[in-house]
Amino acid sequence: MSGGTEGRGTIALSADVRRQLHLVELAGHLPRLKILLDDLSRVDIAAIRARDLTPPARLVRVLHKITAENTSLGHDLQPFLADLSALSTDDLWRVFEYVFLEGDTGLEDLQAVLDQLGPRVKEVAVTTAERLRAEGRAEGEARVLLKLLAAKFGTLPAAVVDRVRSGSTDELEVWTPRVLTVNTLNEIFGPA
């Protein structure tokens, strides 16, 4: 039968219509999600605290609002001690990484907060700060080595640049003095 029907009185439905009908059947089983979009420049801390949010969600908003250029973050986090103590260890790693990378706060400023939150939180904060310092040192050492290599050998192949940038602090400490004595780039990375 033509005109959208097949066989005896059967209506052929397009795949799109069949999908829509299936969604109508499932509608009662699909989750309903609310989206909260904040302009943090217009929302004050008290309003964020008053919202019914999980501790991680509340802290994300608070930290985005107060971390940058804040040299007294430890003081400003006092009202959020319960939220901080409720975080999983993984969430704490992320919080402290954000605080140390985006803020102007050091461990000294956070000391009072860390003392109140206990050894688990303090260990995560200290370890995060140490890891970031080590990564920063390694990046700095790699930059220096790349400058020295370029001064001695000219434009460096991408493979050499990648090798230096991916080198550990220990490797970089071995490779850097070699610049003074080697005659080829390959000698930099060879055994001692």
pLDDT of residue 39: 83
3-state secondary structure 70-89: CCCHHHHCHHHHHHHHCCCH
Tokens describing residue 185:
């780039």
Residue 106 pLDDT level (bands cut at 50, 70, 90): confident
How long a stretch of residues is the chain?
192
Model pLDDT for residues 24-54, shown as the tens digit of each residue: 676 677 677 777 677 888 889 999 999 899 9
Q: What is the mean pLDDT of residues 142-161?
A: 94
Phi/psi-derived region of residue 6, left when phi > 0, alpha when psi is between -120 and 50, beta in every other case: beta
Which among 132, 142, 188 has a CA at the least distance from the CA of 165?
Answer: 142
